[in-house]
Chains A and B, each alone.
Chain A
Amino acid sequence: MPSIAMIFLAFLQALLLLALAPLMTGLSRMIRARMHSRRGPGVLQDYRDIAKLLKRQDVAPAASGPVFRFTPYIVLSAMLLLAMALPVLSPHSLLGPVADLITFVYVFALARFFFALSGIDSGSAFAGIGASRELMMGVLVEPTMILSLLVVALIEGTTNLGSISTAMAGGQLQSPVALSLAMLAFAFTVFIEMGKLPFDMAEAEQELQEGPLTEYSGSALAVLKLGLALKKMVLVLFLLGVFLPFGNAGSDSLASLLGSTLAVALKVLLIFLLFGLIENSMARGRYMLSSRVTWIGFGVAVLAFVFYLTGL
């Protein structure tokens, strides 16, 4: 059981990530605008959006129910919980009992469950379809996610995120082929979960991922947007924490902390940049065919597992 001080520290970490999340989404928007050869909004546009929304009235349809009302808070708090447990600066998790791969996957599921349910609960037809698609993507992605994480967990002998991260950062690499394939598969699922083309377009609000957002407005929308932005951040850091924890602080000294802060910031930026590049060079795929693409991801994960079995 972690001490109160650790929990507080973890909370600070989560707050920091929350504060930075709109920056990253802003960055994504900027990359897109640049690749579209347009000027686009500034990097800080998402902060401005959220601040504006927070001042607006929250309007809900008459048919909406209690789930619709509480979902923004549940999504945000689930994401904050994960953000607390992530190993960010050091390969250790500040919140050991939460930093388990399976717990992580199911806390994501918790957020997804309510997010999708809010779509139906709003009573809107669009939001309902969006909810269905959101869940469908979850069904397609989750096995791949679990399998790729399983390969790492098997190699390191534990499902604890902190331990895996520590082992990956410290020891020499076992089964490098399996690990890199698993990373590829996991990155693929992270990419989808972040709501990127060709599967999704997070910014278009009647699209899949943000379909359930249709009926949100004002302050509730702001909270939910924060939650979704944080989700992206958490996903990227999850990817980094499991597969690429290199450069994270080994000790608590200020210098190494600073160094790792820099390293993490750089890695996060790189990932967002990379994902942005990939996303914007894609066309929107037909939704019904997305299962064909996700099979590729699953295939890569299976390949990773086979390589693990052979010990490569």
Chain B
Amino acid sequence: MSGTPLFFLLLSVLLYLGGAVASLLLARHESLAIRCSGLAGMLGALAGLAAAIPVLHGAGTQLYAVAGPFSFAHFVVRLDPLAALMLLAISLLMFASALYSLAYVREYAGRGAWAMGFFLNSFVAAMVALVVADNAFYFLIFFELMSLASYFLVISDQDPEAVSAGFLYFLIAHAGSVLIMVAFFILYSHSGSLDFDSFRSAHLSAPLASLVFLLAFFGFGAKAGMVPLHSWLPRAHPAAPSHASALMSGVMVKIGVFGIIKVGVDLLGAHLAWWGLIVLGFGAVSAVLGVLYALAEHDIKRLLAYHTVENVGIILMGVGTGMIALAGGHTELAGLALLAALYHTLNHAVFKGLLFLGAGAIIFRTHSRDMEQMGGLARRMPLTATCFLIGAMAISALPPLNGFVSEWFTYQALFSLSQGADLASRIAGPIAIVMLALTGALAAMCFVKAYGISFSGEARSSGAEHAQEVPLSMRAGMLLLALASILLGLGAPLLAPQLAAVATSLSGGAAISVAQGSLVFPSQAQTTTLSTPLLAILLIAIPLLPLLILGALKGGRLPRRQRGESWACGYGQEAIMSVSAHNFVGPLHEMFAPLYHLREHLDPSARLRRSLDWLIAASTRLEPLWDIHVVSRVASLVTRSGQLLQGLQGGDFRIYCLYVLVTLVILLVLVV
């Protein structure tokens, strides 16, 4: 079987596990542990790519089943196109992160760098195993393993904030997995087997199927960080080391999306339109609120974490549209919408990974996550700045980068939905489009802020002043993702058909055609088209014109000069004058005040704390009650009855003789 995708899949998991164990064994030689786990991660990622690409390229679904030690579940591996796509995203990001970690983790030497290598590699191994598991039991095991390993990554700083973030994270993830478990149990009770294959053919009544869907939706939604189950995300991701945040944000939350697609579309077949409407609705709200809350942050990693909420929202909008279309039997639209969702999944993995690695590079040099402590880094860390800028452009969906392509497809899917026959989708589609537009504008604002405050202007702290470019392996990791981000955008005409094949494998319709030559288009009819290569070529070529004009009119112009202070109304420029992260979004705070208040009003933590305190107090009172009211009552009853009986035992032997006599008489009477 060597050389088949499944072989490479196994190899990939084994390499990750090998890296994990090696890192554990080399705990005493940390620099060696860092290198081993990083290299094993890279090799595992390459093997993962080797497993994923043939499947995406037409090798078809790969199946493998074995009985396993548990009587109630078979160990089934199913490397289908969707799993292969997830595997591709995981491996791509893991390769860059592992490369990056070679230098980055040295920062943690002496603070458990070896444990980080162990948990990171096991975390990725669990994710890889999860996406290919085709049995509910093993799926849940890998799901929990993934949460467990990432929990340790979150608490790796071991400070109270990290520990409490980890607690919240793991608790929500675990509660989510229990919801998923219940969904699977219901399916199991109708299909009689825990294999996903039997779930696919199980026939559930509509209310029961809806219950299963909702359970799975909220269970996976918690993992995906969808509003209102997102509260763990902006706390957990910043606490983890940056390359782990990149993986958590880039691919782990996508497992949630993957699960929603898996259960909603693959297992249940998306029969009812309102499921899709719910997904669409939660997606739209997550997108807007995610970015709005991101804008309020000045911790760079929290900001990025909130953007994950936003992007998951955008992906869910695609998924929801696809589900609505499937319920209505429009497989072509469903294919398009799922294509948009999957494309954005892949893209977000790349650019969010890139941004987190960039943030990690900043933190590596400035030792602060607070953007107010940065500034002026573009001149000191030019490559990091360029990569971060590319990531920022991609996430703001600026053409011709990858974020734009997938959002364009999302818009087109929503547009097709808006043209649908029923009123619900005719209203839902446009609302979603408007929210997506608002999200886009807000995201652009947010990343102007993120890049501007961190990289532009003057240094605002000594850490930022003395920052240097990061080591080679970190630069290489970032550069790789930046290139991927560009290629996924420019290569859209090549990539979209592949992803469309994955999408149609889910929607079940005929193959949809979405690309021709250098064009991509949302439907066969080519009513509208997009060509990112053309956009890119033109955007690069056109500036030649102004340069020519400049050259022609050079005349006696002096060369460019860069020195002196900026203008400050005639006063001397001081660093404190430059715009801060907070006042940059001041107007927004005022204009969207209700939405920010909403967050405070809806935050349940204070209420939860109060009710927990009440519960603890009540149970403290409850504990001794049992002893007081039952045990000691019984004991004293025994004592009292003993005292009563004492009267019988007066010490006079004549009375004892009387007892014997009376007993004899009674017995005789009874016998006779």
A residues in contact (CB < 8 Å) with B: 1-2, 14-15, 51, 54-68, 72-74, 76-78, 80-81, 84, 95-98, 100, 102-103, 105-107, 109-110, 112-113, 116-117, 119-129, 131-133, 135-136, 138-143, 145-147, 150, 153-154, 157-160, 163, 214-215, 218-220, 223, 226, 287-288, 291, 305, 309
Can you name 7 A-B pairs with beta carbons within 8 Å?
A57-B559, A61-B564, A103-B399, A113-B393, A121-B378, A139-B442, A143-B441
A51: which of B415, B546, B553, B556 is its contact (CB, 8 Å)? B553
Tell whether B389 is near chain A: CB-to-CB under 8 Å: yes
Chain A residues whose C-beta falls within 8 Å of the C-beta of B545 in the assembled complex: 15, 76-77, 80
Q: Is B534 in contact with A1, judged by CB distance below 8 angstroms?
A: yes
Tell whether B588 is near chain A: CB-to-CB under 8 Å: yes
Query: Once bound together, how far apart are the Cα atoms of A287 and B423, in whole Å?
Result: 38
Q: With CB as the reference atom, state the residue of chain A lying closest to B455.
A: A65
Chain B residues whose C-beta falls within 8 Å of the C-beta of A159 in the assembled complex: 411-412, 415, 527-528
Known: A60-B560, A73-B546, A215-B567. 19 other contacts (CB 8 A): A1-B517, A60-B562, A62-B563, A77-B538, A100-B408, A109-B397, A109-B441, A113-B396, A128-B584, A131-B579, A133-B587, A135-B441, A138-B441, A139-B438, A143-B434, A143-B437, A150-B415, A160-B527, A309-B427
Q: With CB as the reference atom, state the residue of chain B lying closest to A105.
A: B437
Chain A residues whose C-beta falls within 8 Å of the C-beta of B528 in the assembled complex: 100, 158-160, 163
Chain A residues whose C-beta falls within 8 Å of the C-beta of B426 in the assembled complex: 309
Q: Is A125 in contact with B529, judged by CB distance below 8 angstroms?
A: no
Query: Once bound together, how far apart are the Cα atoms of A128 and B382, in whole Å?
Result: 21
Tell whether B578 is near chain A: CB-to-CB under 8 Å: yes
Q: How far is the CB of A105 from chain B (nearest CB, A)?
A: 7
Q: How far is the CB of B609 from chain A (nearest CB, A)?
A: 35
Mark out the residues of chain B between 571 and 589 whose CB falls within 8 Å of any chain A CB in the assembled complex.
573, 577-579, 583-588
Q: Is B542 in contact with A131, judged by CB distance below 8 angstroms?
A: no
Q: Is A1 in contact with B456, judged by CB distance below 8 angstroms?
A: no
B456: which of A2, A56, A67, A103 is its contact (CB, 8 Å)? A67
Chain B residues whose C-beta falls within 8 Å of the C-beta of A141 in the assembled complex: 441
Q: With CB as the reference atom, state the residue of chain A lying closest to B580.
A: A128
A291: which of B517, B542, B567, B591 is its contact (CB, 8 Å)? B591
Tell whether B561 is near chain A: CB-to-CB under 8 Å: yes
Q: Is A98 in contact with B398, judged by CB distance below 8 angstroms?
A: no
Closest 9 A/B residue pairs (Cβ)? A128-B579, A120-B452, A124-B566, A97-B531, A160-B528, A146-B437, A77-B542, A57-B558, A135-B445
Query: Once bound together, how far apart are the Cα atoms of A135 and B382, in whole Å?
Result: 25
Tell whether B565 is near chain A: CB-to-CB under 8 Å: yes
Chain A residues whose C-beta falls within 8 Å of the C-beta of B583 in the assembled complex: 129, 132
Contact flags (1/0) for B508-545 with A, using CB distance below 8 Å?
00000000011100000001111100110011001101
Query: Once bound together, how far apart are the Cα atoms of A146 and B547, in whole Å?
Result: 33
Chain A residues whose C-beta falls within 8 Å of the C-beta of B568 in the assembled complex: 124-126
Query: Once bound together, how far apart are the Cα atoms of A72 and B286, in whole Å?
Result: 35
Chain A residues whose C-beta falls within 8 Å of the C-beta of B452 in the assembled complex: 116-117, 119-121, 128, 131
Query: Once bound together, how far apart are the Cα atoms of A146 and B441, in whole Å?
Result: 11
Q: How far is the CB of B531 from chain A (nearest CB, A)?
A: 4
Chain B residues whose C-beta falls within 8 Å of the C-beta of A139 in the assembled complex: 438, 441-442, 445, 588
Chain B residues whose C-beta falls within 8 Å of the C-beta of A55 in the assembled complex: 553, 555-557
B430: which of A127, A147, A288 is its contact (CB, 8 Å)? A147
Chain B residues whose C-beta falls within 8 Å of the C-beta of A59 in the assembled complex: 560-562, 564
Chain A residues whose C-beta falls within 8 Å of the C-beta of B553 in the assembled complex: 51, 54-55, 219
Query: Once bound together, how far apart are the Cα atoms of A14 and B447, in whole Å?
Result: 30
A142: which of B441, B546, B556, B557 is its contact (CB, 8 Å)? B441
Chain A residues whose C-beta falls within 8 Å of the C-beta of B487 in the assembled complex: none
Q: With CB as the reference atom, state the residue of chain A lying closest to B403.
A: A106
Known: A102-B408, A139-B588, A147-B433. A77 touches B415 (CB 8 A): no
Tell whether B376 is near chain A: CB-to-CB under 8 Å: yes
Tell whether B419 is near chain A: CB-to-CB under 8 Å: yes
Chain A residues whose C-beta falls within 8 Å of the C-beta of B559 in the assembled complex: 57
Query: Once bound together, how far apart are the Cα atoms of A67 and B382, in whole Å?
Result: 11
Q: Is B538 in contact with A81, judged by CB distance below 8 angstroms?
A: yes
Chain A residues whose C-beta falls within 8 Å of the C-beta of B335 in the assembled complex: none
Q: Is B547 in contact with A57, judged by CB distance below 8 angstroms?
A: no
Q: How far is the CB of A233 from chain B (nearest CB, A)?
A: 16
Q: Is B451 in contact with A57, judged by CB distance below 8 angstroms?
A: no
Known: A100-B530, A121-B452. A54 touches B566 (CB 8 A): no
Q: Is A157 in contact with B442, judged by CB distance below 8 angstroms?
A: no
Chain B residues whose C-beta falls within 8 Å of the C-beta of A61 in the assembled complex: 562-566
Q: Is A218 in contact with B542, judged by CB distance below 8 angstroms?
A: no
Query: Once bound together, how far apart are the Cα atoms of A18 and B444, in whole Å?
Result: 27
Chain B residues whose C-beta falls within 8 Å of the C-beta of A68 in the assembled complex: 456
Known: A120-B579, A163-B528. A54 touches B550 (CB 8 A): yes
Chain B residues whose C-beta falls within 8 Å of the C-beta of A56 in the assembled complex: 557
Tell whether B106 is near chain A: CB-to-CB under 8 Å: no
Query: Once bound together, how far apart are the Cα atoms of A57 and B440, in whole Å?
Result: 37
Known: A54-B550, A120-B456. A106 touches B440 (CB 8 A): yes
B378: which of A66, A154, A223 is its contact (CB, 8 Å)? A66
Q: With CB as the reference atom, state the residue of chain A lying closest to B518.
A: A1
Q: How far is the CB of A254 from chain B (nearest CB, A)?
A: 28
